[in-house]
Structure 1
Amino acid sequence: MQIDFAIIGGSYAGLSAALQLARARRNVLVVDAGQRRNRFVDEAGLTSHGFLTQDGRAPAAIAADAKAQLLRYPSVQWLDGSADDARVAADGRLEFRVGEQRISAGRLVLATGVRDILPPVPGLAERWGRSVFHCPYCHGYELDAGEIGVVAATPMAQHHALMLPDWGRTTLFLNGVYTPNDEERVELARRGTHVEPVPVVRIDGEADVVLADGRVLRMNGLFTQPRTVMTSPVAEQLGCAMTDGPMGPFIQVGPTQETSVPMVFACGDAARAAGSVALAVGDGVMAGFGAHRSTMV
């Protein structure tokens, strides 16, 4: 199959990029593996927050509406599956495979997303997206200004522990991951964050932290710092330059979301250090603009 613009990833960033290109009356193919990063929120029966006009809606509902609206444009095609075996052809076109089908595109937008690797604390992964989160702006308000725990997985826990007192009474569980220095302890005390040095044994109940000394501290919710990895090999296969972020590597992009590989653009969580639905949509808009404008030079 030959197409003008291919977008790998049909979540918020990819849908947003595709919409701009469809409205420019260009032929667009969206390839989607159906693995939205925030699908665990849907499974827990929770909702998405912080996105204008969509605050409090299920993430799946937002994505479904966006897909339905996109597919009303006759120049858009949708292909379910995972992209692999990507390369830059001799003529400069971008080629990749979905199942047995080979795709050739003039421009490629990578909206492949990332996968979260959680710290190995028993009970934490089972509560991911339900009572364990990584973004205070997305889920902090719903904890009703109650008890909030930060389970340290990296020294980035310090950042969480300083932010979260705006959302509730915060306890930082060091869990043997790092030791705050004197200056950091002063900052934590200034923010009212309690520091708990006793290791975490497991998470029980909704968000109950069981400590090695037998204490059980009941929390309204927990935050931790997952490590992120690319969900797709395509960026690496194409040779896109990467940047090391605090949570993991992400695709290096310029002002219009262009990557280091000509005619390849990237957006969403795969192309920024941290993200949200609103940020992914904005990135997708810029990637769509950038990909379209690249045809004019």
Structure 2
Amino acid sequence: MRHDVIVIGGGYAGMAAALQLLRARRQVLVIDAGQRRNRFARTSHGFLGQDGAAPDAIAATARQQLARYATLSWVDGQVTQAGGVNDAFSVSMGDGVVHEGRRLLFATGVADLLPDVAGLQERWGVSVFHCPYCHGFELERGRIGCIATGAMSAHQAMLLTEWGDVTLFTNGVLEPDAGALAELNRRGVAIETTRVSAITRQATVQLADGRTADFAGLFVAPRNLPASPLAEQLGCALEDTPLGRQIRTDATRETSVPGAFACGDVARAPHSVSLAVGDGAWAGGQVHRSLVFDHAA
């Protein structure tokens, strides 16, 4: 069977895109590897109508709603290769099965490159976060630690003062210039230059000199990379942003490869569930328009 659209990635952006296409009665195949970026978080915030819901519950409800449409096909699995051209794409699965489609939509998400600090990975999404709009309110204006990963961390620390008293740990990777130092001081951000050696308990920072400091929560600004190499293997151009690398798209979310589109965290910044859903909905509509107007349906 040749599908109208193959969506690689069944997360929030991918499902939002698929919904628009299904409502246009198009044959849509969603292939999902089951690795949503926010799988470590207990609750999701800032998404209208689902504020405070568990990420698993949001995803399960969305999938149930997609399943009501007869033109949906869903495969749980990993795509190992994508190839072809506009109107004649194919994707290969790990078990050797090949699927064909007229359009490809990459909604594969990103990988977070976290600081190499003991105990940080285990607390990612639980007491260590990247988005204050998603998790800042729940910290009840308690003490907040910001562990630097690069130049963007100074900006992150300044913003975090809206949610509590902030300490910026430069951690050997950030030396704010005079202007940034003045602004950090003006906003009341404390600056700690001793390296962070570990995160313990809920959000206790242990420094290399043996000192410790307790916080309500910690924030980092990880560098992001596409979670899958498939788009790059197909020939889609990538671009660097202050947050990392993403797939380059135009206003319609089409990549540099005609007929191949991308949406969600892998194709835009900043990142959140609500922004991913909105971007997916836009991309789904644009993919449908390409099927209607670029070629005979």
TM-score by length of 2: 0.96
Unpaired segments ≥5 residues, structure 2:
none
1:195 matched to 2:191? The reply is yes
Structure 2 residue 288 is matched with structure 1 residue 292: yes
In structure 2, the residue matched to 1:51 is 47
Confirm whether residue 93 of structure 1 aligns to residue 56 of structure 2: no
**SS at 2:102's partner residue?**
strand
**How much is the aligned-residue C-alpha RMSD, in angstroms?**
1.1
Match of 2:206 in 1: 210
CA contact (8 A) 1:150 1:223 kept: yes
**Alignment-derived partner of residue 268 in structure 2:** 272
**Counterpart code for 2:11:** S
132-141 or 228-237: which moved more? Answer: 228-237
* Mapped contact 1:22–1:73 kept (Cα < 8 A): yes
Deviations 1:216-246 (A, max 9, x none): 1100000012122222121011111111012
Q: Deviations over 1:98-144 (max 9, x none)?
A: 12111111011110101112110111111101100011111011111
Whole-angstrom CA distance in 2 between matches of 1:54 and 1:273: 21
Look up the equivalent residue of 2:17 and give its one-letter code.
Answer: A
1:213 shift after superposition:
2.3
Question: 2:129 maps to which residue?
Answer: 133
Shift of 1:288: 0.6
User: Which of 225, 228, 235 is equivalent to 2:224?
Assistant: 228
Amino acid at match of 2:7: I
C-alpha distance in structure 2 between counterparts of 1:92 and 1:22, whole Å: 18
Q: Secondary structure at the match of 1:39?
A: coil
Between the aligned partners of 1:280 and 1:130, the Cα distance in structure 2 is 21
- Choose from 68, 72, 77 the match for 1:81: 77
Q: Supply the distance in 2 between the matched residues of 1:72 and 1:252 (Cα, whole angstroms).
A: 33
The residue aligned with 1:259 is: 255
**TM-score under structure 1 normalisation?**
0.96
Q: Does 1:185 align with 2:181?
A: yes
Equivalent residue number for residue 37 of structure 2: 37
Establish whether residue 175 from structure 1 lines up as the match of residue 181 from structure 2.
no
Percentage of matched positions with identical amino acids: 54
Tell me if the contact between 1:84 and 1:233 (Cα under 8 Å) persists in the aligned partners.
no
Q: Which runs of 4+ in 1 moved over 4 A?
A: none
Inter-partner Cα distance in structure 1 for 2:119 and 2:150:
18
Q: Distance in 2 between matches of 1:114 and 1:218?
A: 30
CA drift of 1:92 comes to 4.6
Measured in 1, the distance between the counterparts of 2:166 and 2:37 equals 26
**Structure 1: runs of 5 or more not aligned:** none
The count of corresponding residues between Structure 1 and Structure 2 is 292
CA-to-aligned-CA distance 1:13-41 (integer Å, 9 cap, x gap): 00000000000011100000000000011
Whether the 8 Å contact between 1:248 and 1:273 is mirrored in structure 2 is no
Deviations 1:127-162 (A, max 9, x none): 101100011111011111000000112121111111
Partner of 1:67: 63
The Cα of 1:85 is off from its aligned counterpart by 1.7
Match for 2:18: what amino acid?
A
Q: Tell whether the 8 Å contact from 2:168 to 2:189 is kept in structure 1 after alignment.
A: yes
Q: Select 1:120's aligned residue among 109, 116, 121.
A: 116
Rounded Cα–Cα distance in structure 1 between residues aligned with 2:6 and 2:180:
47
In structure 1, the partner of 2:8 is: 8
Q: Deviation of residue 274 (structure 1)?
A: 2.6
